[in-house]
Structure 1
Amino acid sequence: MSLPLFKPCASSFYRGTRVIAPLSAAAKPLLSSLSQQRWSSHSPMGSPSGTSRKKVTLGTLRSMYKKNEPIAVLTAHDFPSAHVADVAGMDIVLVGDSLAMVALGMEDTSEVLVEEMLLHCKSVARATTAAFTVGDLPMGSYEISPMQALETAIRFVKEGRVQGVKLEGGKEMAATIEKITRAGIPVLAHIGLTPQRQNALGGFRVQGKTSDSAMRVLEDALAIQEAGSFAVVVEAVPAEVASLITKELSIPTIGIGAGNGCSGQVLVQTDMTGNFPPGRFLPKFVKQYGNVWGDNFHAIKSYRQEVKARQYPAPEHTYPISQDAAHAFAAAVAEKTSARQSPFGSE
């Protein structure tokens, strides 16, 4: 028995537009099935594959920390990169301001604007169903005052749709961190090498290499912990120093170039997947787990070659038409062509 998908209403025509009544319950599954047949390249990424997992919350992260389970953190800058990070099981997905370089082609992180970060945060947030998402506050959006920082953080939550924010700095940012956390927004702090301050640090230099400088890093860590940070990124610090700092804190440390003694690790996804051309400089702490650039290059090169050779698209990549319809169309075109070429036109 066939089911009508739509039921015309009384008075169902107005200015040539047909008004359709709501679907019957029995017809909805059929329409849902039909709607999956998309003939356009503009299609969504689809639902994540594999077993779904529970949403990662601050409670989840605290539990992992107490059990000494390492916290896996990875950056993402758009829907596809966040989608794969989330499905692969990342605990935290960070929309890092490193996207200034890896996604926008800028020289360093100081160029990226709040509006640009928010756009990328929205894209990442749409893809992450399980991971805890954190947005990086860009340079100039939080340093002026705690109130400025809170206003920016609120925008990241309301507009960017992330669950927490990250900011750089130690003791001098304690009041700012406290202001944001008191408003109910989780803060991931960042100490050691702080890239937004590279000019003041003399470049991208390892921090904490002497006893005095290591003590300053520890003092920063204790201050931001007291201010309410839920965790702290420790960047480019000797492993022994980072390990001791981790033991002195009661919040997780997320290492990047800080050894294996931290509570977790973070890397820039573009770096660790190898999504860059040969010869690009990589920091010492980066381990390259893939060769996305090489795979993409060979795929795109093969596509170009097949287009040039007319090998693509093959018959299996085209939409069918019956031979009768094709012959009828060819005959109609021939007739029109003949009529245009005739000096007398068609009668």
Structure 2
Amino acid sequence: MSKATSSNAKRVTTHLLQEMKLRGEKISMLTAYDFSMAKILDSGGIDVLLVGDSASNVMAGHETTLPITLDQMIYHASAVVRGVQRALVVVDIPFGSYQGNSRLALESAVRIMKESGAHAVKMEGGEEIKESITRVLSAGVPVMGHLGLTPQSIYKFGTYSVRAREETEAAKLIEDAKILEECGCFAIVLEKIPSKLAAKVAKAVQIPIIGIGAGAGVDGQVLVTHDMLGITQDFHPRFLRRYADLAGIMKQAVSQYVEDVKAISFPTEEESYE
């Protein structure tokens, strides 16, 4: 592990993320959905853990993020919070729990904060959800925004391809980022947009911009942990770098266990009680 920096010597807060942007220190962010994984990621020095609605895909096997419920997100978030000592824990408010209804948005955010002990929530969208974001923020709940490819709107877009390549959509994205900053969001995730546009957004606002498939010109990066560790095998986007092949290691371990059990070489005398 690399030598600890001043930023990972203390608990990460929204204020600390702002300081990191100001001094040019990049922010690291990964997803987490359970206690054991969260504990490992936290001890590895990660700055932010996102309890993503991607749990719908990697934990439950759904094709999209839409089916996961608020209760399920709170369950996952509660487990993650119990495994964390340093990282900031951000929780996705799931589809159908905030769009078009600011009162529902507030109720959902408050439930997440009270029942899971998380530190912030994340919401997808720009100007169209401004009222919901403002109402959640008015209750003192920190909000992280999310622009570009917004998976909760996949049926609207009809594709997971790169967003904001056209001038009109790019201009709207920049404007939406400024709106989210003005509302009071402490950071924004930009997903799958041209790298030059992402860098432009990062310079246009004072709050941290976290990219996923948005190039290196932003203030930090986020990946889905199961993708980054090679646990998932059927997902190969251009932006994904696999840092391990845990699926292969796990399969090998299971095969060896099966072999040992059938050969009666496990357990040994030393692994048994008298």
Instruction: Say whether the fold is shared (TM-score over 0.5).
Output: yes
1:237 aligns with 2:163: no
1:148 aligns with 2:104: yes
User: 1:218 and 1:207 mapped to 2: Cα distance?
Assistant: 13
CA RMSD of aligned residues (A): 1.3
User: Shift of the alpha carbon at 1:284?
Assistant: 1.3
In 1, are the aligned partners of 2:227 and 2:235 still within 8 Å (CA)?
A: no
Partner of 1:54: 10
**Structure 2 length-normalised TM:** 0.95
Partner of 2:119: 163
In structure 1, the residue corresponding to 2:211 is in which secondary structure? strand
In structure 2, the residue corresponding to 1:129 is in which secondary structure? coil
Q: Which structure 2 segments of 5+ residues have no match?
A: none
User: 1:217 and 1:63 mapped to 2: Cα distance?
Assistant: 24
For CA contacts below 8 A with separation 6 or more, give which structure has more relative contact order: 2
User: Shift of the alpha carbon at 1:281?
Assistant: 2.6
User: Shift of the alpha carbon at 1:57?
Assistant: 1.1
1:120 aligns with 2:76: yes
Query: Which of 68, 84, 87 is matched with 2:40 structurally?
Result: 84
In 2, are the aligned partners of 1:170 and 1:223 still within 8 Å (CA)?
A: yes
Runs of 4+ that moved beyond 4 A: none
Q: Which is higher, the Rg of structure 1 or of structure 2?
A: 1
In structure 1, the residue corresponding to 2:235 is in which secondary structure? coil
User: 1:316 and 1:66 mapped to 2: Cα distance?
Assistant: 57
Query: Which of 164, 178, 191 is matched with 1:208 structurally?
Result: 164
Partner of 1:28: none
User: Shift of the alpha carbon at 1:60?
Assistant: 1.3
User: What's the CA shift string for 1:151-170, capped at 9, x where partnerless?
Assistant: 10000000021000001001
Partner of 1:182: 138
User: 1:103 and 1:311 mapped to 2: Cα distance?
Assistant: 33
User: 1:85 and 1:204 mapped to 2: Cα distance?
Assistant: 27
In 1, are the aligned partners of 2:100 and 2:132 still within 8 Å (CA)?
A: no
User: Shift of the alpha carbon at 1:144?
Assistant: 3.0
In structure 1, the residue corresponding to 2:159 is in which secondary structure? coil
Partner of 2:242: 288
User: 1:240 and 1:144 mapped to 2: Cα distance?
Assistant: 31
Q: Percent identity?
A: 39
* Count of matched residue positions in the alignment of Structure 1 and Structure 2: 269
User: 2:235 and 2:117 mapped to 1: Cα distance?
Assistant: 33
Structural mapping, 1:1-347, within 5 Å? 53-277=9-233, 280-319=234-273, 321=274
In structure 2, the residue corresponding to 1:167 is in which secondary structure? strand
**Structure 1 length-normalised TM:** 0.76
